[in-house]
Amino acid sequence: MIEVLKAAPYATVQDLGFPRGRSWGLPPSGAMDPLLLQCGNLAVGNVPSAAGIEWALGPLMVRFSQETKFAAAAVREVRMDDEPFGQSGLVATAPPGVPIALIPLPDTRFSYLAVRGGIDVPMVLGSRSTYLPGGFGGHEGRRLRNGDRLETAGQETDRVRELDRRAVGSSDLGTEEVVLRVTRGPQWEQFPPSARVLFFSSRFTVDRASDRSGFRLAGPAVLPREAATLPSEAACPGAVQLPDNGQPIVLMPDGPTVGGYPKLAVVIRIDLRLLAQCQPGRPVRFREVTLEEARAGLRAETAELGALEAGEG
């Protein structure tokens, strides 16, 4: 059993999200940085899709009732019984009854705790993820609180992978501006060439009004030829919407499945996690790629994870 001693802000149970439900208006949800969660799971011998704890903007403190193997991803320091125990990417075995504090990296937004066996909460529509806007999934459909107790779910395998600490601990952001690769959106032609040039040549910054539903970016106004509002149509995570003020909103895993703003571009799937890890004020730019380049990147990441799971990494 895992006892939450100090629940960090925005701490929830997440896995890789809901595999179905878009036809009912349910977004995929799941981990904001699925690569980090999968690496953490593989490091402790879980299936990659096992549920873990995701949190943001502060330390998390837990205690295990029995000896437990865990991985701390995007964590600067681990303190056990208030003594330094390790650094980011740590994979270790925690003794029972000892408070463990997980302190996030300063330039990372979301951190993860993966535990041997995964977190056991009821499966809803094929996922253990928490969907906060709907108030269901995860642990009672809400953020974790002090005193919450979570069981492990038996999602382990017979293999424990020795992964590179950097793979488990890093968010891959570096120290410079983050470049997000995008493909053309469905309303590409509604933006004049000058607006497209402005979009790709400008630096935007992550606004504080950003969350699991959408990240707002501040910068020059990128405007279509005509009024921004359109009849509602399907939308997906990564869609870059341009409302009337011309400030981009990038839809995230909990974002709406329909929207009425024109979508100039779509952040490719493997880069959306990089935006998710950006703190407020972080500069970002956009770079256009083809659909084939986006697919090739996704295939390469999937192959790398598959090799790690098979013990080839």
DSSP state of 128: -
Q: How confident is the model at residue 306 (pLDDT cuts 50, 70, 90)?
A: confident
The pLDDT value recorded for residue 90 is 75
Scanning the chain, the segments in alpha helix (DSSP H) are 34-43, 165-169, 193-201, 269-276, 291-309
Give the mean pLDDT of 19-29: 88
- Report the SS3 class of residue 224: coil
Q: How confident is the model at residue 305 (pLDDT cuts 50, 70, 90)?
A: confident
CA triplet 256, 273, 54: central angle to 5 degrees?
85
Q: What distance in Å separates the CA atoms of residue 56 and residue 175, rounded to the nearest whole number?
A: 19
Residues contacting residue 213 through CB under 8 Å, at least 6 positions apart: 133, 251, 252, 254, 255, 256
Task: Please indicate whether residue 198 or residue 176 has the higher confidence score (pLDDT).
Answer: 198
Q: Decide if pLDDT at 64 tops 80.
A: yes
Q: How confident is the model at residue 165 (pLDDT cuts 50, 70, 90)?
A: very low
| Backbone dihedral angles phi then psi of residue 273, each to the nearest 5 degrees | -65, -30
pLDDT in tens, 131-150: 999 999 999 999 999 999 99
The pLDDT value recorded for residue 199 is 98
Q: Decide if pLDDT at 219 tops 80.
A: yes
Mean model confidence pLDDT for the chain: 89
Q: Which long-range contacts (CB under 8 A, 24 or more apart) does 295-300 make?
A: 297/181, 297/268, 297/270, 298/268, 298/269, 298/270
Q: How confident is the model at residue 164 (pLDDT cuts 50, 70, 90)?
A: very low
pLDDT in tens, 279-288: 999 999 999 9
Q: Pick from 85, 67, 63: which is nearest to 75 by CA?
A: 85
The pLDDT value recorded for residue 158 is 60
What are 203's two structure tokens? 């630096």
**Contact by Cβ (8 Å): 258, 181:** no
Rg (C-alpha) for the chain, rounded Å, is 20
Give the mean pLDDT of 115-142: 95
Lowest-confidence pick of 112-116, 162-166, 227-231? 162-166
- Distances, alpha carbon 85 to alpha carbons 88, 96, 167, in Å: 11, 15, 19
The pLDDT value recorded for residue 163 is 53
Q: Decide if pLDDT at 173 tops 80.
A: no
| Backbone dihedral angles phi then psi of residue 89, each to the nearest 5 degrees | 85, 5
Q: Which regions of 65-153 does DSSP assign to beta strands (E)? A: 68-73, 75-80, 83-87, 91-94, 100-104, 110-115, 119-120, 130-131, 136-137, 149-152
The pLDDT value recorded for residue 15 is 97
Measured distance between the N- and C-terminal CA atoms of the chain, rounded to whole angstroms? 31
Lowest-confidence pick of 30-44, 50-64, 165-179, 240-254? 165-179
| Helix axis angle, 291-309 to 269-276, nearest 10° | 80
The pLDDT value recorded for residue 263 is 95
The pLDDT value recorded for residue 89 is 58
Q: Decide if pLDDT at 169 tops 60.
A: no
Give the mean pLDDT of 104-133: 94
